[in-house]
Amino acid sequence: MQRNKTQRRRVAATPSPDVPAGPFMGDNVVKATEDSLDALFAAETTTTFQQTWQKLDRGSRLDRLRKFVQSYSPPAPLSPAERASLLTAVLQAFELRQLNTKLAVEYDPVSATVSSVRGLRERTAPSGLRTFRIEAVANRTTQKQRVTKPPVLNGSSPSESKEEV
């Protein structure tokens, strides 16, 4: 039995783009590619952040919470220590999964900003330093209603007792 040898096809080489000769060796092509990638990433980020809070991935939620901390403005401005306290409180609550629901975080997908965090409490120490804490939001669950039967008198059913009277 004789086998046929596989023959390799010869294909013409792929044409390479015209790279201008000079000291930068195609810097214009690289710059155009970077600009188009930047535009693609910018468009992708805007569509990503326009999702609802529950559909955002973990990194996007963290980014939005950090921007909330940066833009948080109570009546008096925050010192760096107070801002750090707010950031640690928000990050701890996020790690404990208290900020995963739309009930805990009021998020505006159009502007891609966190409006408020439910349960955020501010305390002022005697020294005047404000500290922040996020209290756990109570879970709202619906419970099945129990149907109660009317009490049975003397071992007879309520319909029988009506007939006797």
Report the domain count for the chain.
1
E runs forming strands in the chain: 105-108, 113-117, 120-124, 130-134
Report yes or no on 126 lying in a domain: yes
In a domain, residue 102? The reply is yes
Q: Specify if 20 maps to a domain.
A: no
Instruction: Please report whether residue 86 resides in a domain.
Output: yes
For residues 114 and 126, give the distance between their C-alpha atoms in angstroms, rounded to a whole number.
30
- Asked whether residue 139 is domain-assigned, the answer is no
- pLDDT: is 128 or 157 the higher one? 128
Contact of 64 with 107, CB cutoff 8 Å: yes
Instruction: Return mean pLDDT, the chain.
Output: 82
* 10 found inside a domain: no
Residue 77 lies in a domain: yes
Q: Which domain holds residue 77?
A: 51-134
Q: What is the pLDDT of residues 32-79, one digit of tens each?
A: 888 898 988 888 888 888 899 999 999 999 999 999 999 998 888 889
* 108 is a domain residue: yes
Q: What is the largest CA-CA distance in the chain?
A: 113
CA distances from 137 to 47, 66, 118, 123 (A): 29, 20, 7, 18
